Amino acid sequence: MIRIAAVGDVHVDKDVVGRYRPALEQLPGVADALLIAGDLTRHGTVEEARCMAGEFGGLGVPVVVVLGNHDHQSDQQDAVTDVLRDAGLVVLEGEGTVLELNGHTLGIAGAKGFGGGFAGACASKFGEREMKNFVGTTEAIAERLGAALRGLDCDALVALTHYAPVPETLTGEPLEIYPFLGSYLLGQAIDSAPTALALHGHAHHGSERGRTPGGVPVRNVAHPVIKQAYNVYQLLTDEVDAGLVSI
C-alpha cells in the first residue's frame, strides 16, 4: 500500500506561515509522500516562494508539486521553481518522477494544465490568433502530461494538475467559469495511461470527487474544498477505488 497525502491551493504568503506546519509535522506517521496541486503562493513572488518552501520543506517525506495560475502572477515562475527545488521539493511541469515508497514505486506525472472547458461547452481552435493560442496552450500541456504519464514505469501512477480534468469536481462553481477552471483534454491525457488517481485543485468552490470518462478517480484537493491541511489517499490496496480513503 502507498499512502498519498494531497492538498492544493495553499496560497502561502507571510501571513500563512505556520498555519499548516503543525499538521505537516504529523505527515511521516500517516503518509508516504505529499502531493500539492498548485497555487502554492498568493501572487507568485520569490518572497512568497521562500515562505512556501519554509512551510512545506524538510517534512521527512517526499513533496511533489505543480505550479498554479497564482504562481505565475508575477512572471517569476522560474525563480519560484528554483526556490522550491532548492528546498528539496520536486516541481513538475509536463514531466514525471518515480518515488520508491514502502517497497513499491509511485509514478507521478505533473503539469499545471490550463482552461478550455468540457464536452459540449469548450473553446475551439478557430478564428482569432488569441483564441488559437489559448486552445493551443491547453493542447500542448495536455500532450506533455499524457506523454509523461505513458512514459512512467511504476506500480502505481498518479496525475497531478492544478486545473481540473473533469467537470464533476467543479460542482459548486458557477457554470459560466467552467472553461477557465479546466479542460477535457487533461482528462483524455489521464485516460491515455493506466492512471490510478488524478489530483487537482484551482476550483475553490468545487467538489472533491469525480471520475474521468475512462473511469480514473479524480479528487479536487483544493484546501477550501477538503477543509484540512491534507487528505490521505491509499493506493495499491486490494480494491483501488475502495482504497481511496480520505481522512
Q: Which residues bind Fe ion (CB under 5 A)?
A: 9, 39, 68-69, 202
How near is the Cβ of 203 to Fe ion at its closest, in Å? Answer: 8
In terms of CB distance, is 202 or 219 closer to Fe ion? Answer: 202
Q: Please identify which residue in the block is written with the cell numbers 476550483.
A: 203
In terms of CB distance, is 7 or 101 closer to Fe ion? Answer: 7
**How is 2-19 classified by DSSP, letter by letter?**
EEEEEEB---B-TTTTTS
Give the chain's largest Cα–Cα span.
Answer: 54
How near is the Cβ of 66 to Fe ion at its closest, in Å? Answer: 11
In angstroms, the CA 89 to CA 117 distance is 30
> Is there a contact between 53 and 86 (Cβ–Cβ < 8 Å)?
yes
How near is the Cβ of 176 to Fe ion at its closest, in Å? Answer: 17
In terms of CB distance, is 101 or 203 closer to Fe ion? Answer: 203
| SS (HEC) of 155-218 | CEEEEEECCECCCHHHECECHHHHHHCEEHHHHHHHHCCCCCEEEECCCCCCCCEEECCCCCEE
How near is the Cβ of 37 to Fe ion at its closest, in Å? Answer: 9
In angstroms, the CA 232 to CA 211 distance is 18
What does each C-alpha distance from 56 to 12, 34, 82, 166, 214 come to in angstroms?
10, 9, 15, 28, 33
How near is the Cβ of 222 to Fe ion at its closest, in Å? Answer: 6
In angstroms, the CA 108 to CA 66 distance is 11
In terms of CB distance, is 161 or 234 closer to Fe ion? Answer: 161
In angstroms, the CA 98 to CA 186 distance is 20
How near is the Cβ of 138 to Fe ion at its closest, in Å? Answer: 15
How near is the Cβ of 126 to Fe ion at its closest, in Å? Answer: 26
In angstroms, the CA 12 to CA 15 distance is 8
In terms of CB distance, is 164 or 193 closer to Fe ion? Answer: 164
In terms of CB distance, is 3 or 202 closer to Fe ion? Answer: 202
In terms of CB distance, is 38 or 94 closer to Fe ion? Answer: 38
